[in-house]
Amino acid sequence: MSCFTDYITVTGTCSDGTSASGYSLKDAGIMLTELNDVVTKDYANGKALGEAKIDFARKLVENRILEHFSGKLRANSIIEGQRIGYPTDNKVVESGTTGKFKGFELEVCNQDSFVSVYISELSLFLNHSGDVDVLVYDVKQAKLLDTITITAVAGEIVTSYVNKTYESDRKELHLAFIYDSDGVDAYQTYTKVAKGCRGCGTSGSQYINAYVTANGVSIDDADARTETNFDTIGHTAGLMAQFAINCNYSAWICSVKHQLALPILYKAAAEVMEFTLHTSDRENTRTLIDAEKNVERMAFYTTRYNETIDAVLKNMTLPNDGKCFGCKQVTRNVTMLP
């Protein structure tokens, strides 16, 4: 349920035991006991059923919003098909270093846009065979985000199709992709290609575009993964990546979740009623007895959903962000009469 987890719940209590700050299905008159009565083998229990319907309702509401504003949303990808790390000619070896992690950093300079970094591929070019854990850190927080294991083959470029997304959410995003280089020799890979690609590769930092800078880096194993502890090196230690910068419309929607909680509540309640009416793999006396009443409840929840979502859309304003939001230009031909 992403950012809506503490705004829409089944019972009014979040998964960590704290109270939700928004709504729960019981606010719409759907109690956990009722969910337990109608749950099927597809769900572990009534709570799981309710959570699934809430999550589905969230997706439907998100799609409704994107459809409503489709004429004002720019193409999803701001930049795509970018690469960090290019191997040099002649397989020049960079020796591994005891006590050092090496790789590259990727910094997204963004203060006003809802964008994300999408990493489609990570590759290693090592003079080493075996599993290598590539660690992904949020350098601003010194927080480990992911561990991506790549099975290296000495002398070959090995690629893992990771398909990972990291959000900036209107703030600078600083990521580090590093691995333990102790006993792991790498072939030289540089951040960018030399002009003309003759003896490809140039050392040092690369300014990729208005959003991104990248550097090869190393850091002592014992050091916290904060910016001041990373040293810039003239290569990426055999680690390479393909990435894109995308508009993150889901993050924008999350930023106004307080406005969407009520529409999601009513949509989820309607989905629960539809479930009770159209699921045939159970024998439940109460379901049969309450069918007529649940038809009425479903109609009520649907009406309330349409009223609340229409009110939100009528008053919803787009961010002041020309990169991801803005009216699409319409081109037309006009014949001028003499």
105 class by beta-carbon count within 10 Å (0-12 exposed, 13-18 middle, 19+ buried): buried
For residue range 269-318, list pLDDT tens digits in order: 999 999 998 874 455 555 556 788 999 999 999 999 999 999 999 999 88
Here the tokens at position 320 are: 């002041």
pLDDT in tens, 142-200: 999 999 999 999 999 999 999 999 988 677 899 999 999 999 999 999 887 654 444 44
The size of the chain, in residues, is: 338
Task: Say if residue 130 is in the same domain as residue 104.
Answer: yes
Same domain, 173 and 198: yes
The pTM for the full model equals 0.76
| 185 and 218 in a common domain | yes
Same domain for 231 and 96?
Answer: yes
Residues 160 and 298 in one domain: no
Structural domain includes residue 225? yes
CB 120 within 8 A of CB 243: yes
Q: Is the pLDDT of residue 135 over 60?
A: yes
Q: What total number of domains does the chain contain?
A: 2
Query: Token pair for residue 202?
Result: 């140039």
Q: Convert the pLDDT of each residue in 7-43 to its tens digit.
A: 889 988 876 667 777 899 999 999 999 999 889 889 9
Based on the domain organization, do 146 and 286 belong to the same domain? no
Q: Which domain holds residue 20?
A: 2-72+250-315
pLDDT of 195: 47
> Which residue among 237, 270, 289 closes a domain?
237
Task: Return phi, psi of residue 31, to 5°.
Answer: -90, 160
One domain for residues 171 and 206 = yes
Q: Which two tokens stand for residue 248?
A: 């993150």
Does the residue 214 lie in any domain? yes
Residue 113 lies in a domain: yes
| Mean per-residue pLDDT of the chain | 86
Task: Among 216, 237, 258, give the residue marking a domain's end.
Answer: 237
Q: How much is the pLDDT for 202?
A: 47
CA distance 16 to 187: 46
Q: Does residue 158 lie in a domain region?
A: yes
User: Is 166 in the same domain as 280?
Assistant: no
Residue 152 near residue 130 (C-beta atoms within 8 A): yes
**SS3 of the chain:** CHHHCCCEECCCECCCCCECCCEEHHHHCCCHHHHHHHCCCCCCCHHHHHHHHHHHHHHHHHHHHHHHCHHHECCCEEEEEEEECEECCCCCEECCCCCEEEEEEEEECCCCCCEEEEEEEEEEEECCCEEEEEEEEECCCCEEEEEEEEEECCCCEEEECCCEEEECCCCCEEEEEEEECCCCCEECEECECCHHHCCCCECCCEECCCCEEEEEEEEECCCCCCHHHCEEECCCCCEEEEEEEEECHHHHHHHCHHHHHHHHHHHHHHHHHHHHHHCCCCCCHHHHHCHHHHHHHHHHHHHHHHHHHHHHHHHCCCCCCCCCECCCCCCCCCCCCC
- Which pLDDT does position 326 carry in this prediction? 72
**What pLDDT sits at residue 206?**
63
- Whether 285 is covered by a domain: the verdict is yes
Say if 322 falls within a structural domain: no
Do residue 230 and residue 97 come from a single domain? yes
What per-residue confidence (pLDDT) applies to 62?
Answer: 94
**Cα separation of 82 and 333, whole Å?**
36
Same domain, residue pair 222 and 270: no
257 shares a domain with 233:
no
Does residue 327 sit within a domain?
no
What is the structure's pLDDT at 234? Answer: 85
328 in a structural domain: no
Q: Which pLDDT score, from 0 to 100, does residue 289 have?
A: 60
Name residues whose C-beta falls within 8 Å of residue 292's C-beta, 6 or more positions apart in sequence.
none
Q: Are residues 51 and 9 in the same domain?
A: yes
